[in-house]
Amino acid sequence: MKKTFQLRPEGKHPDRVLDATKHEIRKYLKRERRRDLPEGVDFWDFDCKFGLTQDSAEVVHLATLIERIDAAAKEAAPACYVEILAKYGVRVPRAKDTERALHELDTAPHSNEEEND
């Protein structure tokens, strides 16, 4: 999806337009995630870009995309550009050192300073 969303069209309430924009993005993500995965792929990942124009768009994480749109709407931006491209995602197994460190944190005795008083 590569699209410029108008955030302040004439004759429409800006809050409803913002809600419709976010809904369209979430609907697109849901539709892409429903697609069948090829052999050897664990999940769908997304490359995202956001900017007030296509030329000023910068790479953002998917989790911050909606926050960026909210911020642009709060600044009364007339439009924003969103680019979301699906890609294959493959899970990488954790290193054994990381698993061991997490296990040690979970099993370490917890000290209460109040008991020492």
The C-alpha atoms of residue 20 and residue 28 are separated, in whole angstroms, by 12
Digit-coded pLDDT (tens) for 50-68: 999 999 999 999 999 999 9
> Which pLDDT score, from 0 to 100, does residue 117 have?
47
> Which pLDDT score, from 0 to 100, does residue 93 have?
81
Q: Count CB-CB contacts under 10 A for residue 26.
A: 12
Digit-coded pLDDT (tens) for 101-115: 666 767 766 655 555
Spell out the residues 6+ positions from residue 97 whose beta carbon is closer than 8 angstroms to its own. none
User: Average pLDDT of 27-33?
Assistant: 97
Spell out the residues 6+ positions from residue 37 whose beta carbon is closer than 8 angstroms to its own. 43, 44, 88
The C-alpha atoms of residue 108 and residue 88 are separated, in whole angstroms, by 38
> Which pLDDT score, from 0 to 100, does residue 105 have?
67
> Which pLDDT score, from 0 to 100, does residue 28 have?
98
> Which pLDDT score, from 0 to 100, does residue 92 have?
84
Digit-coded pLDDT (tens) for 65-90: 999 999 999 999 999 999 999 999 99
The C-alpha atoms of residue 67 and residue 93 are separated, in whole angstroms, by 30
Q: Count CB-CB contacts under 10 A for residue 73.
A: 19
